Amino acid sequence: MSKKLYWESPYATSFEGKIIEKREDGIVLDQTLFYPQGGGQECDIGFFEVEEKEIEIQKVTSQIDKIIHQIPIETLPDLKVGQNIIGKINWKHRYALMKAHTAQHLISAILQNNYGIETENAYIEPNKVILHLKKKISYQQLTKTFIQANNYSTLKNLQLNSVITTRDKVKKDFPQLRGDIPNVEKVRITQIEDLDIICCGGTHLKNTTEIGPIFLYEIKTQNELKFRVGKKAINRIVNLNIDALDISNQINIKLNQIKKKIQTVAEEKTSLSQENEELKLKLLNHIFKSPVFRFGKIKIFCLDFSVDYKLIQKKIDNLPEDSILIAFFENKKVRIVSKVPEASANELVQLILSKFKGKGGGSHFNAQAYIPKVPKKFKKSVINIIKNKVSQ
């Protein structure tokens, strides 16, 4: 069994331990400061000092009550069971993890206490947290949550402490516990003064103001939050602040009015897009009544303007029988729609590809070709290929 020194002394940076087991994937010590990967938190990194040599610790994992320090295979023969070695952690990496993990507890506790939004899981990297929530969160809730969290992480200092107890005593001694109780005999409880009580075996700070600013930089589907702490958070905050002021000056709008202006522009854009779509649908109706040329009963129609194929699909039923539609797109693609039994759309696309290097294919009714290097007079050449085919 490995004694977890990181529980007792999370701010310590070096220790002495005895090798109690050698394995193919590393060594196990009687005690260690190295936190193993688990609970969503990255492991510590660092090295061992052995006879004036440094051995890099590549990864730290756990297996039941053993903590395994993975080291280069070629160094294993030099180590012996019973040997004492010095371990030194990378403090910058550890401290960044402590800040991130403590910030995660702050955010998760505030969300659950104020809005009943529980944390599904969290992934903790140095100075960075990815938090998955069990329910969606509103932007108003986000704003209030991160204002409160930043108040605790920069101004109102809350103390943290941890105790180790048994699983049986947890519910009795800690009725306000947040989260589940792990199925192990000894349980570590981490508390944030007047805010949070949770079972957690990770590394944390002594107080919340060591975290510094917390900066939310991404939210997905309103239940995945990504935020940074420490220097990276400060850099993001300052850079975005200056960028926003620069934009404010360029467009001559006060900083606190930019959001409203963007919303207005977005609404106008949506309205214009709808109008544009309606005009294109009307234009498609007109085009489908006016073939560019005919061969007997076969009518050829051509589209040569920017239009989403989804719009074409909305009006494709209006394309007359015994017709072929040639649609040129700006992204070096040409689409063929055929309602002519003897002229498959896929066959026409293959004829185009036989002349121009590219790729594509499709069905009898609908096919598409992509031509990476579109030559001059490409559209004229494609039309001539179709003409030659239907005139046979």
Alpha-carbon distance of 102 to 363, in angstroms, equals 57
Highest mean pLDDT among 57-66, 101-110, 244-253: 101-110
Question: Does 93 score more than 90 pLDDT?
Answer: yes
Rg over CA atoms, the chain = 33
Alpha-carbon distance of 94 to 209, in angstroms, equals 17
**pLDDT reported for residue 392:** 73
Fold observed for domain 94-251 = Threonyl-tRNA Synthetase; Chain A, domain 2 (3.30.980)
Class level of CATH domain 3-89: mainly beta
Per-residue DSSP letter, 180: P
Domain boundaries in the chain? 3-89, 94-251, 278-391
CA 161 to chain centre: 32
Enumerate helices (H) and strands (E) in the chain, giving the number of each.
9, 22
Q: Do residues 261 and 267 make contact, with C-beta atoms less than 8 angstroms apart?
A: no
- Range 343-364 average pLDDT: 91
Q: Do residues 104 and 217 make contact, with C-beta atoms less than 8 angstroms apart?
A: no
Of the candidate ranges 99-108, 235-244, 371-380, the one whose mean pLDDT is the lowest: 371-380
Q: Would the CATH topology of 3-89 be identical to that of 278-391?
A: no
pLDDT (tens digit per residue) in 251-298: 899 988 988 999 999 999 999 999 999 998 898 888 888 898 888 889
Within 10 A of 68 (CB to CB), how many other CB atoms are there? 21
The SS3 of residue 70 is: strand
Contacts 24+ apart (CB under 8 A), 216-219: 216/142, 216/146, 219/142
By CB atoms closer than 10 A (0-12, 13-18, 19+), residue 160 is buried
Of the candidate ranges 15-19, 47-51, 168-172, 200-204, the one whose mean pLDDT is the lowest: 168-172
CATH 3.10.310.40 fits 278-391, yes or no: yes
What pTM was estimated for this model as a whole? 0.75
Residue 116 falls in which region: left (phi positive, over 0), alpha (psi -120 to 50) or beta:
left
The SS3 of residue 256 is: helix
Per-residue DSSP letter, 315: H
Percent of residues, the chain, with pLDDT higher than 90:
65
- The residue assigned the tokens 């590549």 is 58
**Amino acid (1-letter code) at residue 312:** I
